Structure 1
Amino acid sequence: MNAAYSSQTCPVCGWVDAKNRHGDVFKCQKCGFTCDADQVSGINLKMRLHDEEITRYMPYKKVKELLLQRYYQKQQAN
Structure 2
Amino acid sequence: MRIPCPYCGTRDAHEFGYLGDATTRRPDGGDPFDQVHIRDNPAGPHEELWYHGAGCRRWLVVSRDTRTHAITGARFAKEPA
Question: What interval of TM-score do these two structures reach, taking the shorter chain for normalisation?
Answer: 0.3 to 0.5
| Greater per-residue helix proportion | 1
- Name the structure where strand makes up a greater proportion of residues: 2
Greater relative CO (CA pairs within 8 A, separation 6+)? 1
Q: When the two structures are superposed, what TM-score results if normalisation uses the length of structure 2?
A: 0.33
Instruction: Tell me the TM-score normalised to structure 1 length.
Output: 0.34
